[in-house]
Structure 1
Amino acid sequence: MVANEEHLSLLKQGVPVWNQWRKQHKKIRPDLRGVDLRGTDLRKANLSHSILFKANFFGADLQGASLDRAVLFGTNFGRANLIQTSLTNTDLFGADFTGAKLKRANLRKADLTEADFTEADLTGASLVDVQAIAANFEGATLTGACVSDWNINETTHLKDIVCEWIYLDSVITPAGKIRFRERQPQDAQKNFAPGEFIVLFQSSAEIVELIFSDGIEWTAFLDTFQQLERELKHPKILIQAFEKKSDLTFVIRLQVPEDYDREEIDRYFNKEYNLRLKTLDRATQKQSNTSEKTMNQDKREQCADLLEIAQILAKYQHSRAK
Protein backbone atom coordinates (compact mmCIF):
# COMPACT_ATOMS: atom_id res chain seq x y z
CA MET A 1 0.00 0.00 0.00
CA VAL A 2 1.41 3.36 -1.07
CA ALA A 3 -0.20 6.62 -0.01
CA ASN A 4 -0.58 9.67 -2.20
CA GLU A 5 2.49 11.77 -1.38
CA GLU A 6 0.68 15.05 -2.07
CA HIS A 7 -2.10 14.15 0.37
CA LEU A 8 0.40 13.13 3.06
CA SER A 9 2.39 16.35 2.59
CA LEU A 10 -0.76 18.44 2.98
CA LEU A 11 -1.76 16.61 6.17
CA LYS A 12 1.70 17.13 7.68
CA GLN A 13 1.35 20.89 7.15
CA GLY A 14 -1.24 20.91 9.91
CA VAL A 15 -4.98 20.61 10.43
CA PRO A 16 -5.93 24.16 9.28
CA VAL A 17 -4.16 23.66 5.92
CA TRP A 18 -5.63 20.17 5.55
CA ASN A 19 -9.21 21.14 6.37
CA GLN A 20 -9.05 24.10 3.97
CA TRP A 21 -7.82 21.81 1.20
CA ARG A 22 -10.66 19.38 1.95
CA LYS A 23 -13.21 22.18 1.56
CA GLN A 24 -11.80 23.09 -1.82
CA HIS A 25 -11.48 19.51 -3.13
CA LYS A 26 -14.62 17.73 -1.98
CA LYS A 27 -14.57 15.22 -4.82
CA ILE A 28 -11.13 13.86 -3.95
CA ARG A 29 -10.87 10.90 -1.61
CA PRO A 30 -7.69 11.29 0.49
CA ASP A 31 -5.32 8.37 0.02
CA LEU A 32 -3.30 7.84 3.22
CA ARG A 33 -2.90 4.08 3.11
CA GLY A 34 -0.15 2.71 5.30
CA VAL A 35 1.15 6.10 6.44
CA ASP A 36 3.07 6.52 9.68
CA LEU A 37 1.33 9.24 11.73
CA ARG A 38 2.32 8.02 15.18
CA GLY A 39 2.18 10.78 17.79
CA THR A 40 0.79 13.31 15.32
CA ASP A 41 -1.64 16.01 16.48
CA LEU A 42 -4.63 15.79 14.14
CA ARG A 43 -7.34 16.98 16.48
CA LYS A 44 -10.52 18.00 14.64
CA ALA A 45 -9.09 17.07 11.25
CA ASN A 46 -11.67 16.31 8.54
CA LEU A 47 -11.02 12.79 7.31
CA SER A 48 -14.66 12.08 6.54
CA HIS A 49 -16.72 11.79 3.39
CA SER A 50 -18.32 14.65 1.53
CA ILE A 51 -22.10 14.58 1.85
CA LEU A 52 -22.39 16.77 -1.23
CA PHE A 53 -21.00 14.27 -3.72
CA LYS A 54 -22.37 10.75 -3.77
CA ALA A 55 -19.42 9.61 -5.87
CA ASN A 56 -17.18 10.42 -2.92
CA PHE A 57 -19.35 8.97 -0.21
CA PHE A 58 -16.42 7.31 1.56
CA GLY A 59 -13.99 9.05 3.86
CA ALA A 60 -10.20 9.05 3.79
CA ASP A 61 -8.46 5.78 3.02
CA LEU A 62 -6.24 5.04 6.03
CA GLN A 63 -6.05 1.28 5.66
CA GLY A 64 -3.04 -0.13 7.47
CA ALA A 65 -1.93 3.28 8.76
CA SER A 66 -0.14 3.75 12.10
CA LEU A 67 -1.81 6.32 14.35
CA ASP A 68 -0.52 5.07 17.70
CA ARG A 69 -0.36 7.71 20.45
CA ALA A 70 -1.80 10.32 18.07
CA VAL A 71 -3.98 13.17 19.33
CA LEU A 72 -7.26 12.72 17.49
CA PHE A 73 -9.97 14.05 19.79
CA GLY A 74 -12.82 15.51 17.82
CA THR A 75 -11.38 14.17 14.55
CA ASN A 76 -13.95 13.25 11.90
CA PHE A 77 -13.43 9.77 10.44
CA GLY A 78 -16.96 9.47 9.06
CA ARG A 79 -17.09 6.49 6.66
CA ALA A 80 -13.28 6.37 6.52
CA ASN A 81 -11.42 3.17 5.68
CA LEU A 82 -9.48 2.18 8.83
CA ILE A 83 -9.16 -1.53 8.14
CA GLN A 84 -6.16 -2.95 10.05
CA THR A 85 -5.21 0.55 11.19
CA SER A 86 -3.30 0.81 14.47
CA LEU A 87 -4.76 3.31 16.97
CA THR A 88 -3.20 2.10 20.24
CA ASN A 89 -2.87 4.52 23.17
CA THR A 90 -4.61 7.14 21.02
CA ASP A 91 -6.68 10.08 22.25
CA LEU A 92 -9.99 9.70 20.39
CA PHE A 93 -12.17 11.65 22.79
CA GLY A 94 -15.29 12.73 20.91
CA ALA A 95 -14.01 11.44 17.55
CA ASP A 96 -16.60 10.61 14.88
CA PHE A 97 -16.37 7.13 13.33
CA THR A 98 -19.92 7.06 11.95
CA GLY A 99 -20.09 4.36 9.30
CA ALA A 100 -16.30 3.85 9.34
CA LYS A 101 -14.66 0.55 8.45
CA LEU A 102 -12.52 -0.61 11.38
CA LYS A 103 -12.18 -4.32 10.61
CA ARG A 104 -9.26 -5.81 12.54
CA ALA A 105 -8.22 -2.33 13.72
CA ASN A 106 -6.15 -2.19 16.90
CA LEU A 107 -7.56 0.33 19.41
CA ARG A 108 -5.84 -1.13 22.48
CA LYS A 109 -5.75 1.35 25.38
CA ALA A 110 -7.34 4.11 23.29
CA ASP A 111 -9.51 6.78 24.90
CA LEU A 112 -12.89 6.43 23.19
CA THR A 113 -14.81 8.60 25.64
CA GLU A 114 -17.82 10.15 23.86
CA ALA A 115 -16.62 8.80 20.50
CA ASP A 116 -19.33 7.98 17.96
CA PHE A 117 -19.19 4.54 16.31
CA THR A 118 -22.75 4.57 14.97
CA GLU A 119 -23.02 1.83 12.32
CA ALA A 120 -19.23 1.42 12.24
CA ASP A 121 -17.78 -1.98 11.30
CA LEU A 122 -15.51 -3.18 14.14
CA THR A 123 -15.40 -6.82 13.04
CA GLY A 124 -12.36 -8.48 14.62
CA ALA A 125 -11.14 -5.21 16.15
CA SER A 126 -9.14 -5.03 19.38
CA LEU A 127 -10.98 -2.96 21.99
CA VAL A 128 -8.74 -4.21 24.79
CA ASP A 129 -8.47 -1.88 27.78
CA VAL A 130 -10.22 1.02 26.04
CA GLN A 131 -12.03 3.81 27.86
CA ALA A 132 -15.51 3.86 26.32
CA ILE A 133 -17.56 5.90 28.79
CA ALA A 134 -20.42 7.63 26.95
CA ALA A 135 -19.23 6.18 23.63
CA ASN A 136 -21.94 5.43 21.07
CA PHE A 137 -21.86 1.97 19.45
CA GLU A 138 -25.45 2.05 18.24
CA GLY A 139 -25.86 -0.18 15.20
CA ALA A 140 -22.15 -1.01 15.11
CA THR A 141 -20.84 -4.46 14.14
CA LEU A 142 -18.63 -6.09 16.79
CA THR A 143 -18.55 -9.72 15.65
CA GLY A 144 -15.20 -11.28 16.53
CA ALA A 145 -13.92 -8.19 18.36
CA CYS A 146 -12.05 -8.46 21.68
CA VAL A 147 -13.39 -6.37 24.58
CA SER A 148 -11.06 -7.50 27.36
CA ASP A 149 -11.12 -4.98 30.20
CA TRP A 150 -12.98 -2.34 28.22
CA ASN A 151 -14.39 0.33 30.51
CA ILE A 152 -18.07 0.98 29.86
CA ASN A 153 -20.96 2.10 32.04
CA GLU A 154 -24.64 2.97 31.76
CA THR A 155 -23.79 5.96 29.54
CA THR A 156 -22.23 3.72 26.87
CA HIS A 157 -24.75 3.22 24.05
CA LEU A 158 -25.04 -0.42 22.92
CA LYS A 159 -28.43 -0.36 21.20
CA ASP A 160 -28.89 -2.50 18.08
CA ILE A 161 -25.31 -3.79 18.06
CA VAL A 162 -24.66 -6.52 15.50
CA CYS A 163 -22.58 -9.22 17.15
CA GLU A 164 -22.52 -12.97 16.61
CA TRP A 165 -19.65 -13.68 19.01
CA ILE A 166 -17.06 -11.77 21.03
CA TYR A 167 -13.72 -12.44 22.74
CA LEU A 168 -13.08 -11.58 26.38
CA ASP A 169 -9.30 -11.92 26.54
CA SER A 170 -6.18 -11.63 24.38
CA VAL A 171 -2.50 -12.57 24.51
CA ILE A 172 0.53 -11.41 22.58
CA THR A 173 2.37 -14.30 20.94
CA PRO A 174 6.19 -14.64 20.94
CA ALA A 175 6.07 -13.34 17.37
CA GLY A 176 4.42 -10.15 18.64
CA LYS A 177 0.99 -10.85 17.18
CA ILE A 178 -2.28 -10.48 19.07
CA ARG A 179 -4.34 -13.61 19.57
CA PHE A 180 -7.89 -13.38 20.91
CA ARG A 181 -9.29 -16.03 23.27
CA GLU A 182 -12.20 -16.81 25.63
CA ARG A 183 -14.89 -16.70 22.97
CA GLN A 184 -18.47 -15.93 23.98
CA PRO A 185 -20.58 -17.94 23.38
CA GLN A 186 -18.01 -20.59 24.32
CA ASP A 187 -19.42 -23.14 21.88
CA ALA A 188 -17.80 -22.32 18.53
CA GLN A 189 -20.89 -23.66 16.79
CA LYS A 190 -23.17 -21.14 18.47
CA ASN A 191 -23.70 -17.39 18.10
CA PHE A 192 -25.43 -14.83 20.30
CA ALA A 193 -29.19 -14.90 20.10
CA PRO A 194 -30.80 -11.56 19.13
CA GLY A 195 -30.39 -9.15 22.03
CA GLU A 196 -28.10 -11.48 24.01
CA PHE A 197 -25.05 -9.25 23.57
CA ILE A 198 -26.93 -6.33 25.12
CA VAL A 199 -28.02 -8.41 28.11
CA LEU A 200 -24.44 -9.59 28.70
CA PHE A 201 -22.72 -6.24 28.45
CA GLN A 202 -25.33 -3.92 29.88
CA SER A 203 -24.97 -5.92 33.08
CA SER A 204 -21.16 -5.66 32.83
CA ALA A 205 -21.55 -1.89 33.08
CA GLU A 206 -22.57 -2.52 36.69
CA ILE A 207 -19.60 -4.75 37.54
CA VAL A 208 -16.68 -3.85 39.79
CA GLU A 209 -13.58 -5.96 39.15
CA LEU A 210 -11.34 -6.51 42.18
CA ILE A 211 -7.85 -7.73 41.29
CA PHE A 212 -5.76 -9.69 43.82
CA SER A 213 -2.20 -10.31 42.62
CA ASP A 214 -0.95 -12.13 45.74
CA GLY A 215 -3.71 -14.60 46.49
CA ILE A 216 -6.76 -13.87 48.64
CA GLU A 217 -7.08 -13.86 52.41
CA TRP A 218 -10.71 -14.88 52.63
CA THR A 219 -11.36 -13.76 56.18
CA ALA A 220 -10.24 -10.26 55.24
CA PHE A 221 -12.19 -10.40 51.98
CA LEU A 222 -15.52 -11.43 53.51
CA ASP A 223 -15.16 -8.98 56.40
CA THR A 224 -14.51 -6.20 53.89
CA PHE A 225 -17.43 -7.29 51.74
CA GLN A 226 -19.81 -7.16 54.70
CA GLN A 227 -18.42 -3.76 55.69
CA LEU A 228 -19.07 -2.50 52.15
CA GLU A 229 -22.69 -3.64 52.33
CA ARG A 230 -23.15 -1.86 55.65
CA GLU A 231 -21.42 1.30 54.44
CA LEU A 232 -23.54 1.53 51.29
CA LYS A 233 -26.67 0.33 53.11
CA HIS A 234 -27.34 -1.98 50.19
CA PRO A 235 -27.61 -5.78 50.68
CA LYS A 236 -27.85 -6.50 46.95
CA ILE A 237 -24.17 -6.23 46.10
CA LEU A 238 -23.50 -9.69 44.68
CA ILE A 239 -20.36 -11.73 44.23
CA GLN A 240 -21.01 -12.48 40.57
CA ALA A 241 -17.92 -14.53 39.74
CA PHE A 242 -14.26 -15.17 40.44
CA GLU A 243 -11.53 -16.01 37.97
CA LYS A 244 -8.06 -17.45 38.45
CA LYS A 245 -5.61 -15.64 36.16
CA SER A 246 -2.37 -17.26 37.38
CA ASP A 247 -1.04 -19.14 40.43
CA LEU A 248 -1.83 -16.30 42.84
CA THR A 249 -3.68 -13.73 40.73
CA PHE A 250 -7.46 -13.62 40.98
CA VAL A 251 -10.24 -11.37 39.72
CA ILE A 252 -13.48 -11.17 41.70
CA ARG A 253 -16.44 -9.45 40.09
CA LEU A 254 -19.01 -7.67 42.20
CA GLN A 255 -22.37 -6.71 40.73
CA VAL A 256 -23.43 -3.33 42.11
CA PRO A 257 -26.49 -1.10 41.60
CA GLU A 258 -26.09 1.05 38.48
CA ASP A 259 -26.34 4.34 40.38
CA TYR A 260 -23.19 3.62 42.44
CA ASP A 261 -19.72 4.96 41.58
CA ARG A 262 -17.73 1.85 40.59
CA GLU A 263 -14.33 3.53 40.95
CA GLU A 264 -15.19 4.74 44.44
CA ILE A 265 -16.30 1.23 45.45
CA ASP A 266 -13.05 -0.20 44.08
CA ARG A 267 -10.94 2.32 46.05
CA TYR A 268 -12.95 1.75 49.23
CA PHE A 269 -12.74 -2.04 49.01
CA ASN A 270 -8.98 -2.08 48.42
CA LYS A 271 -8.34 0.32 51.29
CA GLU A 272 -10.45 -1.63 53.79
CA TYR A 273 -9.15 -5.03 52.61
CA ASN A 274 -5.51 -3.95 52.98
CA LEU A 275 -6.20 -2.58 56.47
CA ARG A 276 -7.60 -5.96 57.50
CA LEU A 277 -4.63 -7.75 55.95
CA LYS A 278 -2.24 -5.70 58.06
CA THR A 279 -4.23 -6.50 61.20
CA LEU A 280 -4.18 -10.23 60.44
CA ASP A 281 -0.48 -10.13 59.57
CA ARG A 282 0.39 -8.50 62.90
CA ALA A 283 -1.62 -11.15 64.76
CA THR A 284 0.12 -13.93 62.83
CA GLN A 285 3.53 -12.46 63.56
CA LYS A 286 2.87 -12.43 67.29
CA GLN A 287 1.85 -16.10 67.26
CA SER A 288 4.88 -17.42 65.43
CA ASN A 289 8.62 -16.91 65.12
CA THR A 290 8.39 -17.58 61.40
CA SER A 291 9.15 -14.53 59.30
CA GLU A 292 6.13 -12.43 58.37
CA LYS A 293 6.91 -12.70 54.67
CA THR A 294 7.04 -16.50 54.70
CA MET A 295 3.86 -16.80 56.77
CA ASN A 296 1.97 -14.44 54.50
CA GLN A 297 3.10 -16.24 51.36
CA ASP A 298 2.09 -19.62 52.76
CA LYS A 299 -1.30 -18.24 53.77
CA ARG A 300 -1.91 -16.70 50.31
CA GLU A 301 -1.02 -20.01 48.64
CA GLN A 302 -3.45 -21.87 50.88
CA CYS A 303 -6.17 -19.38 50.03
CA ALA A 304 -5.54 -19.75 46.30
CA ASP A 305 -7.10 -23.21 46.22
CA LEU A 306 -10.19 -23.12 44.00
CA LEU A 307 -12.06 -25.77 45.99
CA GLU A 308 -11.63 -23.72 49.14
CA ILE A 309 -12.84 -20.61 47.32
CA ALA A 310 -15.94 -22.39 46.04
CA GLN A 311 -16.75 -23.72 49.50
CA ILE A 312 -16.33 -20.34 51.16
CA LEU A 313 -18.45 -18.51 48.59
CA ALA A 314 -21.17 -21.16 48.68
CA LYS A 315 -21.28 -21.05 52.48
CA TYR A 316 -21.41 -17.25 52.51
CA GLN A 317 -24.09 -16.96 49.85
CA HIS A 318 -26.18 -19.62 51.61
CA SER A 319 -25.99 -17.70 54.87
CA ARG A 320 -27.11 -14.50 53.11
CA ALA A 321 -30.10 -16.23 51.59
CA LYS A 322 -31.52 -17.16 54.99
Structure 2
Amino acid sequence: MANPDHLLVLSQGVLVWNCWREDHPGIIPDLKAANLQGVDLANINLRGAQLQEIDLQGADLRRADLTAADLSGANLYMADLIAVQGREICLEAADLEGGDCYKADFTRADLRNTNLRGTMMRRVTLVEANLSGANLTRTDLLQSNLWRAQLENAILQEANLEEANLEAANLEAADLTLTKFTRANLRRARLYNAHLERTDLQDAILRGATQPNGQIYL
Protein backbone atom coordinates (compact mmCIF):
# COMPACT_ATOMS: atom_id res chain seq x y z
CA MET A 1 0.00 0.00 0.00
CA ALA A 2 1.04 3.60 -0.60
CA ASN A 3 2.74 5.63 2.10
CA PRO A 4 0.01 7.98 3.48
CA ASP A 5 2.55 10.76 4.10
CA HIS A 6 3.62 10.63 0.46
CA LEU A 7 0.00 10.71 -0.69
CA LEU A 8 -0.58 13.78 1.48
CA VAL A 9 2.28 15.62 -0.21
CA LEU A 10 1.01 14.62 -3.65
CA SER A 11 -2.49 15.86 -2.82
CA GLN A 12 -1.03 19.39 -2.65
CA GLY A 13 -0.14 19.34 -6.34
CA VAL A 14 2.80 18.65 -8.64
CA LEU A 15 4.72 21.84 -7.77
CA VAL A 16 4.69 21.05 -4.04
CA TRP A 17 5.57 17.42 -4.77
CA ASN A 18 8.54 18.33 -6.97
CA CYS A 19 9.86 20.79 -4.36
CA TRP A 20 9.50 18.09 -1.69
CA ARG A 21 11.53 15.71 -3.81
CA GLU A 22 14.28 18.28 -4.26
CA ASP A 23 14.38 18.86 -0.51
CA HIS A 24 14.40 15.13 0.31
CA PRO A 25 16.54 13.44 -2.37
CA GLY A 26 17.13 10.37 -0.20
CA ILE A 27 13.45 9.46 0.11
CA ILE A 28 12.09 6.88 -2.33
CA PRO A 29 8.42 7.73 -2.99
CA ASP A 30 6.02 4.88 -2.23
CA LEU A 31 2.71 5.17 -4.06
CA LYS A 32 2.06 1.47 -4.54
CA ALA A 33 -1.55 0.61 -5.45
CA ALA A 34 -2.67 4.24 -5.08
CA ASN A 35 -5.80 5.33 -6.97
CA LEU A 36 -4.80 8.30 -9.12
CA GLN A 37 -7.28 7.84 -11.96
CA GLY A 38 -7.54 10.92 -14.16
CA VAL A 39 -5.16 13.00 -12.01
CA ASP A 40 -3.07 15.77 -13.63
CA LEU A 41 0.54 14.73 -13.02
CA ALA A 42 2.16 16.53 -15.95
CA ASN A 43 5.86 17.29 -15.35
CA ILE A 44 5.94 15.33 -12.08
CA ASN A 45 9.20 13.91 -10.73
CA LEU A 46 8.63 10.21 -10.02
CA ARG A 47 12.20 9.14 -10.68
CA GLY A 48 12.92 5.83 -8.95
CA ALA A 49 9.49 5.74 -7.31
CA GLN A 50 7.74 2.58 -6.13
CA LEU A 51 4.51 2.57 -8.16
CA GLN A 52 3.64 -1.10 -8.40
CA GLU A 53 -0.02 -1.75 -9.24
CA ILE A 54 -0.82 1.97 -9.13
CA ASP A 55 -4.05 3.03 -10.88
CA LEU A 56 -3.28 5.83 -13.34
CA GLN A 57 -6.12 5.20 -15.77
CA GLY A 58 -6.66 8.31 -17.87
CA ALA A 59 -4.03 10.26 -15.91
CA ASP A 60 -2.00 13.10 -17.46
CA LEU A 61 1.69 12.18 -17.21
CA ARG A 62 3.00 14.35 -20.02
CA ARG A 63 6.73 15.05 -19.68
CA ALA A 64 6.85 13.21 -16.34
CA ASP A 65 10.20 11.88 -15.12
CA LEU A 66 9.68 8.15 -14.59
CA THR A 67 13.32 7.18 -14.90
CA ALA A 68 13.93 3.82 -13.18
CA ALA A 69 10.47 3.89 -11.59
CA ASP A 70 8.72 0.58 -10.90
CA LEU A 71 5.22 0.48 -12.41
CA SER A 72 4.93 -3.28 -12.71
CA GLY A 73 1.29 -4.31 -12.88
CA ALA A 74 0.16 -0.68 -13.11
CA ASN A 75 -3.07 0.44 -14.78
CA LEU A 76 -2.24 3.11 -17.37
CA TYR A 77 -5.23 2.50 -19.60
CA MET A 78 -5.79 5.56 -21.84
CA ALA A 79 -3.11 7.51 -19.93
CA ASP A 80 -1.24 10.43 -21.52
CA LEU A 81 2.49 9.60 -21.53
CA ILE A 82 3.64 12.04 -24.22
CA ALA A 83 7.37 12.83 -23.97
CA VAL A 84 7.79 10.85 -20.73
CA GLN A 85 11.34 10.25 -19.52
CA GLY A 86 11.23 6.54 -18.79
CA ARG A 87 14.76 5.18 -19.16
CA GLU A 88 15.10 1.84 -17.35
CA ILE A 89 11.48 2.02 -16.19
CA CYS A 90 9.76 -1.22 -15.18
CA LEU A 91 6.35 -1.65 -16.80
CA GLU A 92 6.23 -5.43 -16.63
CA ALA A 93 2.65 -6.70 -17.02
CA ALA A 94 1.31 -3.13 -16.95
CA ASP A 95 -1.74 -2.06 -18.98
CA LEU A 96 -1.07 0.84 -21.37
CA GLU A 97 -3.84 0.00 -23.82
CA GLY A 98 -5.08 3.00 -25.78
CA GLY A 99 -2.57 5.36 -24.22
CA ASP A 100 -0.42 8.00 -25.93
CA CYS A 101 3.36 7.59 -25.60
CA TYR A 102 4.41 9.87 -28.46
CA LYS A 103 8.16 10.63 -28.25
CA ALA A 104 8.54 8.87 -24.89
CA ASP A 105 11.99 7.56 -23.96
CA PHE A 106 11.84 3.92 -22.84
CA THR A 107 15.51 3.10 -23.34
CA ARG A 108 16.32 -0.24 -21.66
CA ALA A 109 12.79 -0.37 -20.23
CA ASP A 110 11.25 -3.60 -18.93
CA LEU A 111 8.03 -4.06 -20.90
CA ARG A 112 7.72 -7.82 -20.62
CA ASN A 113 4.15 -9.05 -21.02
CA THR A 114 2.90 -5.46 -21.13
CA ASN A 115 -0.42 -4.66 -22.79
CA LEU A 116 0.30 -2.01 -25.44
CA ARG A 117 -2.68 -2.87 -27.59
CA GLY A 118 -3.68 0.10 -29.76
CA THR A 119 -1.23 2.42 -28.01
CA MET A 120 0.17 5.46 -29.82
CA MET A 121 3.95 4.98 -29.79
CA ARG A 122 5.11 7.08 -32.70
CA ARG A 123 8.77 8.13 -32.52
CA VAL A 124 9.24 6.35 -29.19
CA THR A 125 12.76 5.37 -28.11
CA LEU A 126 12.86 1.67 -27.19
CA VAL A 127 16.59 1.08 -27.54
CA GLU A 128 17.52 -2.22 -25.87
CA ALA A 129 14.05 -2.41 -24.30
CA ASN A 130 12.63 -5.80 -23.34
CA LEU A 131 9.19 -6.32 -24.91
CA SER A 132 9.18 -10.11 -24.73
CA GLY A 133 5.62 -11.42 -24.70
CA ALA A 134 4.15 -7.92 -24.99
CA ASN A 135 0.84 -7.36 -26.80
CA LEU A 136 1.40 -4.73 -29.50
CA THR A 137 -1.69 -5.49 -31.57
CA ARG A 138 -2.51 -2.47 -33.76
CA THR A 139 0.12 -0.38 -31.94
CA ASP A 140 1.45 2.58 -33.94
CA LEU A 141 5.27 2.55 -33.80
CA LEU A 142 5.91 4.79 -36.80
CA GLN A 143 9.56 5.94 -36.88
CA SER A 144 10.26 4.45 -33.46
CA ASN A 145 13.74 3.29 -32.46
CA LEU A 146 13.85 -0.37 -31.40
CA TRP A 147 17.58 -0.94 -31.87
CA ARG A 148 18.51 -4.23 -30.20
CA ALA A 149 15.07 -4.49 -28.61
CA GLN A 150 13.87 -7.87 -27.34
CA LEU A 151 10.54 -8.85 -28.92
CA GLU A 152 10.51 -12.63 -28.54
CA ASN A 153 6.98 -14.05 -28.58
CA ALA A 154 5.54 -10.54 -28.83
CA ILE A 155 2.21 -10.06 -30.61
CA LEU A 156 2.46 -7.39 -33.31
CA GLN A 157 -0.64 -8.19 -35.35
CA GLU A 158 -1.55 -5.21 -37.56
CA ALA A 159 1.07 -3.06 -35.83
CA ASN A 160 2.56 -0.14 -37.75
CA LEU A 161 6.38 -0.16 -37.80
CA GLU A 162 6.76 1.98 -40.90
CA GLU A 163 10.24 3.57 -41.06
CA ALA A 164 11.07 2.12 -37.63
CA ASN A 165 14.60 1.11 -36.67
CA LEU A 166 14.72 -2.56 -35.66
CA GLU A 167 18.40 -3.15 -36.36
CA ALA A 168 19.64 -6.19 -34.43
CA ALA A 169 16.22 -6.56 -32.76
CA ASN A 170 15.15 -10.02 -31.61
CA LEU A 171 11.76 -10.97 -33.10
CA GLU A 172 12.03 -14.72 -32.61
CA ALA A 173 8.63 -16.44 -32.55
CA ALA A 174 6.87 -13.06 -32.75
CA ASP A 175 3.43 -12.85 -34.36
CA LEU A 176 3.87 -10.45 -37.29
CA THR A 177 0.54 -11.12 -39.01
CA LEU A 178 -0.40 -8.09 -41.13
CA THR A 179 2.41 -6.10 -39.51
CA LYS A 180 3.60 -3.12 -41.55
CA PHE A 181 7.39 -2.80 -41.94
CA THR A 182 7.39 -0.43 -44.91
CA ARG A 183 10.87 1.16 -45.23
CA ALA A 184 11.82 -0.21 -41.80
CA ASN A 185 15.43 -1.04 -40.92
CA LEU A 186 15.63 -4.75 -40.07
CA ARG A 187 19.37 -5.21 -40.58
CA ARG A 188 20.63 -8.19 -38.55
CA ALA A 189 17.20 -8.64 -36.97
CA ARG A 190 16.34 -12.15 -35.77
CA LEU A 191 13.10 -13.42 -37.28
CA TYR A 192 13.62 -17.11 -36.56
CA ASN A 193 10.26 -18.89 -36.14
CA ALA A 194 8.41 -15.58 -36.51
CA HIS A 195 4.93 -15.72 -38.04
CA LEU A 196 4.90 -13.56 -41.19
CA GLU A 197 1.46 -14.04 -42.68
CA ARG A 198 0.62 -11.12 -45.02
CA THR A 199 3.40 -9.07 -43.44
CA ASP A 200 4.26 -5.88 -45.37
CA LEU A 201 8.03 -5.72 -45.95
CA GLN A 202 7.91 -3.30 -48.87
CA ASP A 203 11.24 -1.45 -49.19
CA ALA A 204 12.36 -2.79 -45.79
CA ILE A 205 16.11 -3.24 -45.25
CA LEU A 206 16.72 -6.90 -44.43
CA ARG A 207 20.44 -7.37 -45.03
CA GLY A 208 21.87 -9.83 -42.52
CA ALA A 209 18.49 -10.58 -40.94
CA THR A 210 17.64 -14.16 -39.96
CA GLN A 211 14.60 -15.50 -41.82
CA PRO A 212 11.92 -17.61 -40.07
CA ASN A 213 13.55 -20.75 -41.53
CA GLY A 214 16.97 -19.80 -40.15
CA GLN A 215 18.48 -18.61 -43.44
CA ILE A 216 20.14 -15.20 -43.68
CA TYR A 217 18.89 -12.41 -45.94
CA LEU A 218 21.69 -11.28 -48.26
TM-score (norm 1): 0.48
Larger Rg: 1
In 2, Cα distance between equivalents of 1:254 and 1:136 = 18
In 1, Cα distance between equivalents of 2:132 and 2:120 = 19
Code of the residue aligned with 2:143 in structure 1: it is A
In 1, Cα distance between equivalents of 2:84 and 2:9 = 16
Structure 2 runs not aligned, ≥5 long: 29-47, 178-187, 205-218
In 2, Cα distance between equivalents of 1:139 and 1:26 = 33
Alignment of 1:161-180 (within 5 A): 161-168=169-176
2:84 matches 1:65: no
Alignment of 1:109-120 (within 5 A): 109-120=118-129
Pairwise CA distance, 1:197: 2.9
Equivalent position of 1:35 in the other structure: 54
Identity of paired residues, percent? 34
In 1, Cα distance between equivalents of 2:81 and 2:134 = 18
Q: In 2 relative to 1, CA 197–43 (structure 1 residues): closer, same or farther, beyond 3 Å?
A: same
Q: CA RMSD in A?
A: 2.9
Point out the structure with the larger helix share: 1
SS in 2 for 1:81: coil
2:56 matches 1:45: no
Equivalent position of 2:43 in the other structure: none
Pairwise CA distance, 1:152: 1.4
2:191 paired residue among 177, 181, 197:
197
In 2, Cα distance between equivalents of 1:158 and 1:34 = 30
Code of the residue aligned with 2:170 in structure 1: it is V
Alignment of 1:29-178 (within 5 A): 29-48=48-67, 59-154=68-163, 156-168=164-176
Pairwise CA distance, 1:142: 0.8
TM-score (norm 2): 0.68
Higher relative CO (Cα under 8 Å, sequence separation at least 6) belongs to: 2
Pairwise CA distance, 1:151: 0.7
Count of aligned positions: 173
CA contact (8 A) 2:80 2:101 kept: yes
SS in 2 for 1:168: coil
Code of the residue aligned with 2:109 in structure 1: it is A
Code of the residue aligned with 1:159 in structure 2: it is E
CA contact (8 A) 1:33 1:65 kept: yes
CA contact (8 A) 2:76 2:96 kept: yes
In 2, Cα distance between equivalents of 1:9 and 1:97 = 29
Structure 1 runs not aligned, ≥5 long: 49-58, 170-193, 205-240, 243-252, 259-322
1:288-316 Cα offsets, whole Å, 9 max, x none, are xxxxxxxxxxxxxxxxxxxxxxxxxxxxx
In 2, Cα distance between equivalents of 1:128 and 1:8 = 35
Q: In 2 relative to 1, CA 14–120 (structure 1 residues): closer, same or farther, beyond 3 Å?
A: farther
Alignment of 1:207-286 (within 5 A): 256=202
Pairwise CA distance, 1:38: 0.4
Q: In 2 relative to 1, CA 161–24 (structure 1 residues): closer, same or farther, beyond 3 Å?
A: farther
Point out the structure with the larger strand share: 1
Structure 1 stretches of 4+ with a deviation exceeding 2 A read 2-29, 194-198, 253-258
